[in-house]
Amino acid sequence: MKKNIMLLLLFTCSFKVLAQKAELIDNYINELYQKNAFNGNILVAEKGQVVFEKSYGLANEKTQQKLNTQTCFELASVSKQFTAMGIVQLQKKGKLSYDDKISKYIPELSFYGNVTIKNLLTHTGGIPDYMDLLAKEWDKSKIATNSDVIKAFEKQKPAPLFSPNEKWEYSNTGYLLLATIIERVSKQSYGEYLNKTIFKPLKMNNTFIYRRWFKPEIKNNYALGYLFSRELNKKVTPDEFGSDFYVVYLDGIVGDGMVNSNLEDLLKWDRALYGNEIINDNDRKMIFSSYEMSGQRSTDYGFGWMLTNSPDYGKIALHSGSWGGYITYIERHLDNDKTIIVLQNNALSTTEIPVKNIRRILYNQEPEKQVKIDNNILQQCEGKYVTETGKTKEIIYEDGKIYVPVGQEEKLELIPVSQTKFIVDGFSPEVSFEFTFNSEGKVTKYRVQQPEQGIDYEAKKIE
């Protein structure tokens, strides 16, 4: 009898703690929603049990259709973990090896020599960014596909950025090529293969490949992505920027993006990664391990997952995505079995990624309040900078925030943690930018640090 009473008390206390966490998360996200900093869906789970799940805002501005917890979103770069799993499944069947050179499957790119499948999985291949190449070379009245990108590389033969395994640099091109390898080895389309080997076995019934402009389809309960148009002074879908907008003319490409899903299916995916239905312990170790590069530096990136270790939270596997108005995020706390999934369909200057404070609430820590910085100081940070190796970098100021451009159109927000120091929003392991001001209050340089990657350099302001 006493034992039953104790169990009941423990259950009651546990329920109250979870309810308190849910209330704190809801209050925090509501605050963001009220100031136009969040529009989307959130799911938080502990040991597979949903602690919090809620929708905020609209799926479609024109029809005023509201989001609900079943609404599907484009996952952007969160798609990469599914591409990686597709490769893992082919390796398990003996169809390929992680150490195979990519030229075995894509002979058109044999000039990239010793780049392997594993290099592509871990972003250590050094193959240049396809978005930059197509921005200069592609006829933007047409929608490009993986095949078109490979033909452009074959024709232009852009030099590698570095030798395989020499360094780590995030590569959308690498995951595009992995999708092509999946198609050529499996003799199925990327979507068909993922559906057969991952989505159907895991009963992820609301997960699919969708290319809205390349292959239009009617999708029910679907969130449209919204960006802000300065010219029109309102939120718009990418359509309104025209066919030569990068989101539109790159819509035929798969592997680095184009998986669409919802909260429920992503939680199924999270649970499957702990189980043995599609992977075993050896696969799990490969997927969630960091790999050593030249000079004994670590990638802190496994197969489609960023990896970090924290004294407070333990080992975390995570990934973010940003594309065409969608901002997505999944975080799995491997030591403590906690899960955070965030799907947003507004990418505005006011938009915030709320993961850091959700994480703090989960671990009974006080949410952090953002440091406020005068716009004059932020505007001083804007400009062009040159590194010690002669590379030109840029900091952009927009609507009271500063950003680092990455690729042709994407940019990462710098979040202030002091009056001179910022961290890259949603990036792990943490990347910091610290700006140096002279006696006149002018920025003279910044210092970038990411100790886990061995990154530590300065860039002087030139204009």
Amino acid at 349: S
pLDDT band at 294 (very low <50, low <70, confident <90, very high): confident
pLDDT at 328 over 80: yes
Q: State the average pLDDT over residues 299-318.
A: 93
Q: State the average pLDDT over residues 68-80.
A: 97
pLDDT at 443 over 80: yes
At 47 the pLDDT is 96
Q: State the average pLDDT over residues 135-139.
A: 90
For 383-393, the pLDDT digits (tens) are: 999 988 888 89
At 442 the pLDDT is 92
Give 361: exposed, middle or buried? Use CB within 10 Å, 0-12, 13-18, 19+.
buried
Q: State the average pLDDT over residues 42-60.
A: 97
Indicate the average pLDDT of the chain: 92
What H or E segment, with its residue span, contains residue 152?
helix 146-156
pLDDT at 453 over 90: no
Q: What is the value of pTM for the model shown?
A: 0.88
For 403-431, the pLDDT digits (tens) are: 888 755 567 888 898 999 998 876 666 78
User: What percent of the chain has pLDDT above 70?
Assistant: 94
Q: Which of the given ranges, 198-202, 307-311, 318-322, has the highest pLDDT on average?
A: 198-202
Rounded Cα distance between 69 and 55, Å, is: 6
Nearest residue to 158 (alpha-carbon basis) of 143, 173, 140, 179:
173
At 455 the pLDDT is 81
Percent helix, strand, coil in the chain, to 5, is 35, 25, 40
Report CA 147 to chain centroid distance, whole Å: 24
Residues 14, 55, 77, 141: which is the catalytic one?
77
For 12-26, the pLDDT digits (tens) are: 556 677 889 999 999
pLDDT at 321 over 90: yes
For 140-167, the pLDDT digits (tens) are: 999 999 999 999 999 999 999 999 999 9
For 211-243, the pLDDT digits (tens) are: 999 999 999 999 999 998 888 888 999 988 888
pLDDT band at 94 (very low <50, low <70, confident <90, very high): very high
Q: Which residue has the higher pLDDT, 369 or 49?
A: 49
At 14 the pLDDT is 60
Beta strands in 407-453 (DSSP E): 410-416, 421-424, 432-437, 443-450
Q: State the average pLDDT over residues 54-67.
A: 97
At 9 the pLDDT is 55
At 296 the pLDDT is 67
Least confident of 182-196, 291-305, 434-448: 291-305
pLDDT at 78 over 80: yes
Contact assessment for residue 459 and residue 435, using Cβ atoms and an 8 Å cutoff: no
Rounded Cα distance between 82 and 203, Å, is: 15
pLDDT at 244 over 80: yes
77 classed as catalytic: yes
pLDDT band at 8 (very low <50, low <70, confident <90, very high): low
Beta strands in 258-398 (DSSP E): 259-261, 306-310, 314-323, 326-333, 338-344, 346-347, 383-387, 392-398
